[in-house]
Structure 1
Amino acid sequence: MGNIIYNNSSFTVAAGESVLDTLLKAGVQVPFSCRAGVCQSCVMVLKQGAVPPRALEGLSQAQREQQLFLSCCCYPEQAIQVEHYDPRASGVKALVVAKQQLSRTVLELTLDAPIAYQAGQHTNLWRSESIARCYSIASTPEDPHLSFHIALQKGGQFSQWALTSLQPGDTLTIQQARGECYYRSEHAGQPLLLVGTGTGLAPLQAIVRAAIAAGHWGEITLIIGARNSDELYFSEPLRQLERQHSNVTCTQLAQQIDNSDVKNVRQADIYQYVKHHFPDLNSHLVYLCGADTFVSKLRKQCFFAGVKPRNVYTDAFLPAS
């Protein structure tokens, strides 16, 4: 436990509190999103003192040379002096090309931005200096534009703004893509199992399309689950993937089917479904995307089914607005 000097003001860090927690509690406007060290929207500049190694995990060498650290993962053991840092300085301007609602709860946002990426990676979209959200990329590098599937959160500072105010022709700031959850072409013959919930579908279907484009000839199985069938979306593009590629299977599951008109949705628990249909994952590559609790639970289940730890790639979503 130590003190923080931030912009010439001193704050005492309580036991178990991070630098981000302390400043937010004191009313300081600090940008943040995931609070887990993934989105990097809360990075700050260390001017004096030292931070624990955990506060540097995931940062590039260039970021470390700038003395940046993750304030959400920094639990200081001594007094430190820090300064505000605007991550948008390392971003680029993105032009809004289009937007459309894919379902009652999901907005597709299409952008034109000069960033390099792999299908399945994620990046930050900035509404303002203090509001950013981390989203997985739903497009592939072969697509003409970047696309994102944005879960519409009630009262969401970014998602509701994107739905009601952001318009084609507007610009926002986007950062460079990050993340290890993407397809590797050297695995062209291995069976792929991709499982997700909610907008975890966004990176997973992009990974499937990237694998197909790279000539993947092993079996590809995509499974998407939801509590209720009306939470599922993007059904027709998934069916097209199946029709066009004999090695691709796409399955949508719901614990409860509310709409009698829903087609091609199976009523099942996603954990039990995967356990029953994939009891042996020793030869598979596994991709898991969705809520962090889902990813953690299914990852453990897949390990018990024999998947090698190096063959599991994940993208866990934490609650955000």
Structure 2
Amino acid sequence: MPDVHVAGQQLPVAAASNLLDNLLNAGVAVPYSCRAGSCHACMVRCVAGELLDAKPEALDAQQREQGWRLACQCQVVADVQVEVFDPQRDGVAAVIHGHDWLSPHVLRLRLTPLRPLRYSAGQSIQVWTPSGIARPYSLASVPGEAPWLELHIDCRHSGAFVSAARTFQVSDTLHLGALQGGALQYDADWHGRPLWLLASGTGLAPLYGVLREALRQGHQGTIRLLHVAREPAEHYLADALNALASEHAQLQVEWVLAAELSAALAELRLVSRQTIALLCGHPEYVETFARRLFLLGVPRNQVFADVFLPHAR
């Protein structure tokens, strides 16, 4: 029976058992969310020994070299010593620069890191509250456009982080974890190809960043952005995106209500098999988008998706 050494404790555990489950059962405070290796909330550093990692590709090479692992994806197969991610020690402090509502349910949070962070449009980042609640959020900001990082937080459903976010104040300090690559980014090789951006809810946030990055790099192909929402007020970036469309002839923006989505997707026509499609949002909508693109004949290797998984707690 292997032992897990953590926070001064020695925990005998069953061989091949899940590390996150063992830590939680022992009362070790480990944040977690998706349990799928996507949110990165349950990062731990492997100090001694090694774990059987079911999803090593979830972290980049530098993170793995530093010993970081995702507890939800690791099995304990031998004695191991781990440290839980400490936002004060391992994260980057960031001051709240802006806190305002883009719609009745979407909170815009602008954070200024106390040291520069290198990131790409479309990436996501882990955000920690002072009380130790962590959630991953996609970035709506574009490098070089402003000194802050912009997040769009869906507050429609209750949750520990959402409850805390409602009470944040300008000048409060949060902490940031590691940036995550994600599937959404702009590739300069797409310069002349049609680009489709299909989003639901706050899945629009990273695509808003990718769109602005594409325009910044002088994208010459047509760009079609479609956003689906339950009600008109939830098309929360309508003014900003309509303004961009008026400035860029190649950009077409379409606002669709959920009840009308099937009809709207039925009207999509593929003008080129070189089309690149980026999808983001709730799993149900991403699957619907992907199914329609498949039927249209968009090659699978030209479709990139990021699914916003429901939180486990």
Q: The TM-score by the shorter chain falls in which range? A: 0.7 to 0.9
The offset of 1:6, in angstroms, is 4.1
CA–CA separation in structure 2 for the residues paired with 1:18 and 1:128: 28
Match of 1:246 among 245, 249, 255: 249
CA–CA separation in structure 1 for the residues paired with 2:298 and 2:12: 46
The answer for the alignment partner of 1:294 in structure 2 is 285
Q: Deviations over 1:197-235 (max 9, x none)?
A: 010111111111111111011100000112333433221
SS in 2 for 1:236: helix
CA–CA separation in structure 2 for the residues paired with 1:67 and 1:255: 43
Q: Deviations over 1:231-273 (max 9, x none)?
A: 33221112111111111011111134xxxxxxxxxxx12x553
Question: Is the Cα–Cα contact under 8 Å of residues 282 and 309 in structure 2 kept in the other structure?
Answer: yes
Question: Is the Cα–Cα contact under 8 Å of residues 138 and 151 in structure 2 kept in the other structure?
Answer: yes
The answer for the alignment partner of 1:263 in structure 2 is none
SS in 1 for 2:202: helix
CA–CA separation in structure 2 for the residues paired with 1:82 and 1:295: 39
The answer for the alignment partner of 1:130 in structure 2 is 132
| AA matched with 2:84 | Y
The answer for the alignment partner of 2:11 in structure 1 is 10
The answer for the alignment partner of 2:41 in structure 1 is 41
The offset of 1:13, in angstroms, is 5.1
Question: Is the Cα–Cα contact under 8 Å of residues 19 and 71 in structure 1 kept in the other structure?
Answer: yes
The answer for the alignment partner of 1:175 in structure 2 is 177
Compute the RMSD of aligned alpha carbons: 2.5
The offset of 1:25, in angstroms, is 4.2
The offset of 1:80, in angstroms, is 4.1
Question: Is the Cα–Cα contact under 8 Å of residues 2 and 15 in structure 2 kept in the other structure?
Answer: no
* Gap runs ≥5 in structure 1: 257-267
Match of 1:316 among 294, 307, 312: 307
Alignment of 1:112-123 (within 5 A): 112-113=112-113, 114-123=116-125
| AA matched with 2:99 | K
**Under a length normalisation based on structure 2, what TM-score does the superposition of the two structures give?**
0.87
The answer for the alignment partner of 1:111 in structure 2 is 111
The answer for the alignment partner of 2:83 in structure 1 is 84
Question: Is the Cα–Cα contact under 8 Å of residues 32 and 131 in structure 1 kept in the other structure?
Answer: no
Question: Is the Cα–Cα contact under 8 Å of residues 225 and 254 in structure 1 kept in the other structure?
Answer: yes
The answer for the alignment partner of 2:159 in structure 1 is 156
CA 1:195/1:94 → structure 2, altered by over 3 Å: closer, same or farther? Answer: same
**Under a length normalisation based on structure 1, what TM-score does the superposition of the two structures give?**
0.85
| AA matched with 1:138 | A
SS in 2 for 1:45: strand
CA–CA separation in structure 1 for the residues paired with 2:71 and 2:196: 35
Taking only the aligned residue pairs, the percentage that are identical comes to 33
The offset of 1:134, in angstroms, is 0.5
CA–CA separation in structure 1 for the residues paired with 2:292 and 2:50: 38
CA–CA separation in structure 1 for the residues paired with 2:79 and 2:225: 47
CA–CA separation in structure 1 for the residues paired with 2:79 and 2:284: 33
CA–CA separation in structure 2 for the residues paired with 1:308 and 1:51: 37
CA 1:130/1:171 → structure 2, altered by over 3 Å: closer, same or farther? Answer: closer
Match of 1:221 among 218, 221, 224: 224
CA 1:11/1:289 → structure 2, altered by over 3 Å: closer, same or farther? Answer: farther
CA 1:90/1:29 → structure 2, altered by over 3 Å: closer, same or farther? Answer: closer
SS in 2 for 1:84: strand
CA–CA separation in structure 1 for the residues paired with 2:137 and 2:18: 24
CA–CA separation in structure 1 for the residues paired with 2:15 and 2:267: 47
Matching of residue 60 in structure 1 with residue 51 in structure 2: no
Q: How many residues align?
A: 305
SS in 1 for 2:102: strand
Question: Is the Cα–Cα contact under 8 Å of residues 46 and 83 in structure 2 kept in the other structure?
Answer: no
The answer for the alignment partner of 1:21 in structure 2 is 21
The answer for the alignment partner of 2:70 in structure 1 is 70
CA–CA separation in structure 1 for the residues paired with 2:254 and 2:86: 38
The offset of 1:93, in angstroms, is 1.6
